[in-house]
């Protein structure tokens, strides 16, 4: 195998390996950090995230470099993950669950 063919493969391998760690904290680390917070700390952190998101939305992004835009995008992703963990998620009902509920309601009425 020639070096000419090996170099692009190694470059791609390095790019993909660094890309996995570029997002910062993993979901597990965020969840563990949020579980250690009290309810008041969670509420305060949610307010801080809301204020930062509004600040980023109102920002004039036309003067930013591409690196700064990528950094803002990564920050927004991290805040979205953290806000999801702080908010507690929600209630999820499967399609089968919805159908069973509808059938029970039809039988009752």
Q: What is the pLDDT of residues 27-45, one digit of tens each?
A: 778 777 777 878 788 888 8
In a domain, 103, yes or no: yes
Both structure tokens of 46: 């949610």
Contacts of 83 (CB under 8 A, 6+ apart): 46, 49
Q: Would you say residue 21 lies in a domain? A: no
Position 102 pLDDT exceeds 90: yes
Residue 13 lies in a domain: no
Query: DSSP letter at 92?
Result: -
Other CB atoms within a 10 A radius of the CB of residue 86 amount to: 20
Separation of first and last alpha carbons in the chain: 74
Per-residue pLDDT at 21 exceeds 60: no
Determine, yes or no, domain membership for 50: yes
Q: Is residue 102 part of a domain?
A: yes
pTM here is 0.54
Residue 7 lies in a domain: no
Q: How many domains does the chain have?
A: 1
Structural domain boundaries enclosing 92: 26-108
Evaluate whether residue 57 is within a structural domain.
yes
When pLDDT is averaged across residues 49-74 and rounded to a whole number, the result is 89
Residues 56-79: what's their mean pLDDT?
89
């Amino acid at each position: 195998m020639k070096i000419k063919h090996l170099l692009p493969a190694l470059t791609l391998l390095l790019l993909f390996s660094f890309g996995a760690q570029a997002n910062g904290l993993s979901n597990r680390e965020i969840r563990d950090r949020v579980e250690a917070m009290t309810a008041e700390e969670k509420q305060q952190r949610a307010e801080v995230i809301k204020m930062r998101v509004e600040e980023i939305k109102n920002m004039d992004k036309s003067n930013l470099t591409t690196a700064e835009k990528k950094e803002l995008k990564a920050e927004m992703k991290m805040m979205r993950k953290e806000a999801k963990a702080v908010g507690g998620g929600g209630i999820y009902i499967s399609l089968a669950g919805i159908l069973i509920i509808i059938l029970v309601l039809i039988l009752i009425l």
